[in-house]
Amino acid sequence: MSTKITTPILIDLPGETLPSENTDGVVLPKGTTAERPGSPSTGEFRYNTTDKYVEFYNGTTWKQIADEYIPGQPPKLEANQILWLDANSSLSWTGSGSTWYDLSSNNYDATIVTTVPSTGSVNGATYLDLSSRADYFQIPSATHGGALSLKSGNVLTYLFWIKMSSIATGTGGLNTILYGNTAGTSTAQASTRYYKPGSQGFNFFVYDTSGNADVNSGYVASITTSDWFMLVVSYDFPNNEYTVNRYQPGKTNYNNTFTNTVSPQYTTDTDINLMSDGGGPYGGYGYLGEIRAYDKIFTTSELDTKYDDQKGKYGIT
C-alpha cells in the first residue's frame, strides 16, 4: 500500500521549501474505531472518526491525543479524578508559601501544617522531601466539603507516588500515609499506615463511633526503600471494604483486598492529613511526587494501566 501526496507543498521534502504563506494542514488517515488497522505498527497515527480524536498505537494499545498541554494551564485530569496535588507542576507546587494547590477545578488545596519541605528531582520529575515527620499536609473538611472524607457511605481511591527512604523501627514502627480525623478535632476515624517491626507492610485501621479501633490483621508485603512505587488505597465504605495495592519495580503487581466490618462507622466528615501519623513521632517518610484521588473503585487491570502510564515520570521502565 502506498500513500499519495496530492498536495506536495504540504510536506517538507528534501530539496523543497515550504512557502511561508501556506496555511493548509496534513490530512491523516481516518476511520472509525472498528476500522483500525488489524496489525498496527508502533507509532502509527490516525484520526478516529468515532471519538473525534487523533490517536496513536504505542505498541500495545491505541492512545488518544485528547488535549495538547498548554504551558501555564492545568493538565487534563483522568476520568473520575477529583484531586491532583503534583510536585512536578508549578501551578500545584510553587516552591514557597503554605499551600499545595489542587490541579482539579475543585480547589481541594492542601495546607502545609509545619515546615515547608525541600524538593529534589529524579529523571526530571520533582518530588517533595518529607524526610522529617514535621512536614505534613492537611485538606480541611471545610475545603473539600466532605468529598474526600473517610466516612461511612463514601467511595474513594487515593493514589500516591512515593519513595520511602527510611522506615522507623522504634515503638510501633508507624508511618501513616493517609489519616482522617473528625473535622477540627483529633478524633481518629480511619488511616492507612506502614507498620514495622513485627509484620511489615501497609494496612488499615478504622474506628467505630465508640472509639474502638478495628485494625486489619493483613499486610501488603514489605517494600524496598530504594524504589519509587505507586501506592493505591481504596475505601469502599458502603461495602466495608478496604483495599491496598502496591506497585513496585521488579515485583509482581500486588493486590490484596481486606474485608473488615466496623459498625457503626463514623458518618461525620473528616479532615484529610497526608503523611501525618496523628501521634508519634515515628520517623521520616521519604519522598512524595504526587497524590491523586478519585470517586471510584478501580479494577486491578485499570490500576495496572495507571501504573504503566505514570511510571516513566519516576524513571521506571
Question: What average pLDDT does range 208-236 have in this prediction?
Answer: 77
User: Model confidence at 202, in pLDDT bands (50, 70, 90)?
Assistant: confident
Asked if residue 74 is part of any domain, the answer here is: no
Residues 208 and 279 in one domain: yes
Residues 57 and 99 in one domain: no
Q: Are residues 128 and 224 in the same domain?
A: yes
149: domain CATH number? Answer: 2.60.120.200
Q: Is residue 75 part of a domain?
A: no
Chain-wide mean pLDDT for the chain?
Answer: 78
Q: Measuring CA to CA, how many Å separate 313 from each of 231, 288, 307?
A: 15, 13, 10
With respect to residue 70, please indicate whether it lies within any of the assigned structural domains.
no
Taking the CA atoms of residue 69, residue 72, residue 74 and residue 75 in that order, the dihedral angle to the nearest 10 degrees is 20
Residues 155 and 295 both lie in one domain: yes
Query: Which region among 51-65, 117-131, 248-262, 292-306 has the lowest average model confidence (pLDDT)?
Result: 248-262
Report in angstroms the alpha-carbon separations of 277 from 30, 54, 166, 236, 250. 54, 46, 15, 22, 29
Examine the domain organization and report whether 43 and 192 are in the same domain.
no
Domain boundary among 33, 65, 97: 65
Sheet with 30-31: list strands edge to edge.
30-31, 45-48, 53-57, 62-65
The per-type count for the chain, helices as H runs and strands as E runs, is: 2, 20
Q: What is the mean pLDDT of residues 133-144?
A: 85
Q: Would residue 3 count as lying in a domain?
A: no
In the chain, the N- to C-terminal Cα span, in Å, equals: 35
Q: Which domain holds residue 61?
A: 8-65
Kind and range of the H or E element at 202?
strand 201-207
- CA neighbours closer than 13 Å in the CB half-sphere of residue 116: 9
| Same domain flag for 59 and 205 | no
Q: Judge whether 114 and 143 are in contact, CB under 8 Å.
A: no
Mean pLDDT of 119-128: 78
Task: Decide: 297 and 81 in contact? Cβ < 8 Å.
Answer: no
Predicted confidence (pLDDT) at residue 26 exceeds the cutoff of 70: yes
89 and 18, same domain (yes or no): no
Structure confidence at residue 68 (pLDDT):
46
Q: Is the pLDDT assigned to residue 44 strictly greater than 60? A: yes
Task: Please count the structural domains in the chain.
Answer: 2
> Averaging pLDDT over each range in 111-120, 140-149, 180-189, which range is the top one?
140-149
121 and 201 part of one domain: yes
d(C-alpha 184, C-alpha 208), whole Å: 18
pTM of the model: 0.76
* Domain co-membership, 57 together with 85: no
Do 142 and 183 lie in one domain? The reply is: yes
**Among all chains, which residue has been given the C-alpha cell 479501633?**
213
